Amino acid sequence: MSTPKSFLAAAALAAGLSLAAAPASAAVIYAGNFTGNECGGRGGFSNCYASTTGTQQGATPGASPAVYKREAGGGQDFSSQFPTIDGSEFVVTLNSVTNVLSFTYTPGADDPEIHYFAIKQANGFALFYDLTAAITSFSANLDTYFPGNPGFSHITFFDTKGPVPVPAPASFALFGAGLAGLGLALRRRRHSA
């Protein structure tokens, strides 16, 4: 029995559309373990930033500011840059038997996206990120990142892919020149018609 070509084409199209409609899965990337405290130093918590290569005090191009820190004992730190965050958006749990740390983040309407987080333990921290999708949940066995050190000190969450750059005055001049050029082209077109 032969199958009509139009039926095969329709089936292929339907399969392709269903794959295109499937949501992409977020892939949290492990950036590595780093020595020290991820948000220590001058300027305090509100001046702590993360990038794919680590954390630092002070903003640099592409770095993401700290949003919120939850300590294992329940203590919290809040960044002054995000006044809508009150801590209730984050649920952080540790299963002390399996040493699995999990969190969920449910942002409110004006809350930032999370694209980085750091888990602090002993003399260092593990840094994770996802630059393509907002991170709203994560779960991992901490033995993978901190062998022999059960539990964690705290977890810090960082904002989007980085601060929005402010356009330079030259960008405005170039934009204005482009608009003037469009205006002249439209004017010439009207006169020639």
Q: What is the pLDDT of residues 113-160, one digit of tens each?
A: 999 999 999 999 999 999 999 999 999 999 999 999 999 999 999 997
Mind giving me the DSSP string for 31-97?
Answer: EEEEES-TT-STT-GGGEEEETTEEEES--TT-EEEEEEEETTS-EEE-TT-TT--STTEEEEEETT
Does residue 163 carry a pLDDT above 50? no
Stated pTM of the model: 0.70
Average pLDDT of the chain to the nearest whole number: 80
d(CA 118, CA 40): 13
Hey, where are the domains in the chain?
26-158, 167-193
Handedness of CA 175, 177, 183, 188 (dihedral sign): negative
Q: What is the pLDDT of residues 82-119, one digit of tens each?
A: 999 999 999 999 999 999 999 999 999 999 999 999 99
